[in-house]
Amino acid sequence: MTRLEARHPGDELAGARSSAPGLVERRRGLLALASRETHRVLKLWTQTILAPVISSLLFIVVFGLSLGERIKDIDGVPYDQFIVPGLIAMAMAQAAYSNNASSTFQARFDRYIHDVLAAPMRAWEVNLGLSVGGAVRALAIGIALGAVAVPVTGVPVREPFALAAAVIALLVAFCALGVVVGIYAESFDHHMAVNNVAILPLAFLGGVFYSVDLLPSPWEEISQLNPVFYLVQAVRYGFLGTADVSYALALGVTAGCGVVFVAWSAWLFATGRRLKP
Amino acid sequence: MGAVVSPPPPALALHGLTKRYDGGLLALDGFDLEIPDGAFFGLLGPNGAGKTTLISAVCNLIRVTGGDLRVFGLPHDSLEARRLVGLAEQDVNLDRFLDVRETLVYHGGYYGMTRRRAQARANEMMDVFDLRGKAGVRAPQLSGGMRRRLLLARALMHEPRLVILDEPTAGVDIELRTELWTYIRRLHEGGTTILLTTHYLEEAEALCEEIALIRDGRLLARDSADGLRAAYDAETLQDVYLRAMAG
């Protein structure tokens, strides 16, 4: 050990009080946390981005390009184009969820979340900062999949603004869900279980590969109880300009789920429940 | 008439601090403690006495059941108070995805430092704690001693006025313990208030100006090492400790 730094932040504090800090200055903690979460995603990009992109592309190749010619058009849309929006939505939702669930759980498990909880950051800043990684990862996957699937299958983007709104609602809902599950999880198995037992089956049963209009009653009605069905429909409308239900309903249900999960995570951070003994 | 000069607020003031965990365990029961600005204060007690609970309460890591906690006169959970406290926890809690430099720079960011300032300060801390050669090494690849150094460096990154060290020398070799003592002493000489918990009585005696003994969430005594020896009519601090804990 060679040197001693004994400066104190008291003067800086006084200085900070004398002039109103700017937006960036006031949010440096949030920016640092968001940057760390993004850094984690990019550092492990082969696991966090490349792997889910490849698995989704395999679905497009196997089900769309190989089997697609043997399946008739759905609502006038070629099958290889029909499945692209649902596959992208599913990949993005899973990525947003699993990233935030694992990152939040890991931070709790290794207790380095203490470094953040003790820092001068507001509860909502910690919540938002921990959520950013999932959003970045999901967007990277969605953009990569779109960049390949659009030219390969020729799937159009007929309603770009509707698609953007659907993606935002998707990100809000599944990023917040991931943080919530990461806070409640007692082991890695728990957050994997939510993905494998809930999200993945609901996505497959939510019309990723078929139109629920083709299902006999009561399966068509039962499918409409599945919240992921509305997410798939909202994204599909953005690409194809058509969906099994109205876009407003699909977006409304997805956004409603987002509001519930954000409120839940905000409550956890504001009260410290599950985060602080 | 001259203006009345009020004394500076204590670095830490706890009044009626109570913590009951969800399982019903009462870890702290109406605990009162004041640590003056600039003090080197030791907290001694057996496992489960409430030392780590007290520290966690000050650093907003647990939900406090009751009481008033102030850091330099500020409510402990205010953003201003949090900026003034640095914590090196007993357990190694480092982000396994970050290397040494990143650990320090991100910590600086959480505490509002600009990236440039945080990088400069991280370089200083790495020099001080001989971590420069490990700047690009991730925490899981560091030796136990290096991790302990990194925990201390991280706690000091944002230049806190109150540094809380929860058993900082637990499990480190004699050489590193001596180095850490030297550093902590110099930090205190620079005006930083230190709150130290330790199980090593000779460490408390060598470093602390004042020592508090706690057991079962209650303060048993506080004084200098000499004062405690006199109060307990004991020759050594170990005798004081054993008598206090047996009582």
Q: Which residues of A touch B80 (CB under 8 A)?
A: 13, 120
Greater confidence (B170 vs B150) lies with B150
Residue A6 is encoded by which pair of tokens?
Answer: 């004994």
Residue A15 pLDDT > 90: no
Which residue of A lies nearest to B161 if distances are taken between CA atoms?
Answer: A8
Out of B79, B154, B187, the one facing A4 most closely (by C-beta) is B187
Q: In this predicted structure, which of A17-26, B157-166, B208-217 has the lowest mean pLDDT?
A: A17-26
ipTM comes to: 0.93
Q: Which residues of B touch A33 (CB under 8 A)?
A: 106, 109-110
Out of B107, B179, B182, the one facing A115 most closely (by C-beta) is B107
Out of A32, A110, A277, the one facing B22 most closely (by C-beta) is A277
Out of A9, A112, A122, the one facing B94 most closely (by C-beta) is A112
Which residue of A lies nearest to B83 if distances are taken between CA atoms?
Answer: A120
Average pLDDT for A138-146: 97
The DSSP output letter for B72 is T
Residue A12: per-residue pLDDT = 39
**Tens-digit pLDDT profile for residues A185-227:** 999 899 889 999 999 999 888 889 888 888 888 888 888 899 9
Average pLDDT for A69-74: 77
Average pLDDT for A143-150: 95
Average pLDDT for B171-185: 89
Residue A5 pLDDT > 60: no
3-state secondary structure chain A: CCCCCCCCCHHHHHHHHHCCCCHHHHCHHHHHHHHHHHHHHHHCHHHHHHHHHHHHHHHHHHHHHHCHHHCCCECCECHHHHHHHHHHHHHHHHHHHHHHHHHHHHHHHCCCHHHHHCCCCCHHHHHHHHHHHHHHHHHHHHHHHHHHHHHHHCCCCCCHHHHHHHHHHHHHHHHHHHHHHHHHCCCHHHHHHHHHHHHHHHHHCCCCCCCHHHCCCCHHHHHCCCHHHHHHHHHHHHHHCCCCCCHHHHHHHHHHHHHHHHHHHHHHHHHCCCCCC
Q: Which domains does chain B have, with CATH numbers?
A: 9-84+161-241 (3.40.50.300), 95-159 (1.10.40)
Average pLDDT for A46-72: 85
Within 13 A of B121's CA, how many CA atoms are on the CB side? 29
Cβ–Cβ < 8 Å for A269, A124: yes
Residue A123: per-residue pLDDT = 97
**Tens-digit pLDDT profile for residues A103-116:** 999 999 999 999 99
Residue A90 pLDDT > 60: yes
Q: Which residues of B touch A124 (CB under 8 A)?
A: none
Cross-chain residue pair A106–B111, CB shorter than 8 Å: no
Q: Which residues of B touch A112 (CB under 8 A)?
A: 93-95
Residue B133 CB contacts under 8 Å (≥ 6 apart), including other chains: none
Which pLDDT band, with edges at 50, 70 and 90, does A38 fall under?
Answer: very high
Average pLDDT for B94-114: 97
**Tens-digit pLDDT profile for residues A250-267:** 999 999 999 999 999 999
Residue A19: per-residue pLDDT = 57
Q: Which residues of A touch B159 (CB under 8 A)?
A: 5, 7-9
Residue A104: per-residue pLDDT = 97
Cross-chain residue pair A120–B80, CB shorter than 8 Å: yes
Q: Which residues of B touch A129 (CB under 8 A)?
A: none
Residue A66: per-residue pLDDT = 75
Residue B111: per-residue pLDDT = 96
**Tens-digit pLDDT profile for residues B3-61:** 777 888 999 999 999 999 999 999 999 999 999 999 999 999 999 999 999 999 999 99
Cross-chain residue pair B87–A122, CB shorter than 8 Å: no
Out of A2, A28, A271, the one facing B128 most closely (by C-beta) is A2
Residue A3 pLDDT > 50: no
Average pLDDT for B75-90: 96
Residue A129 pLDDT > 80: yes
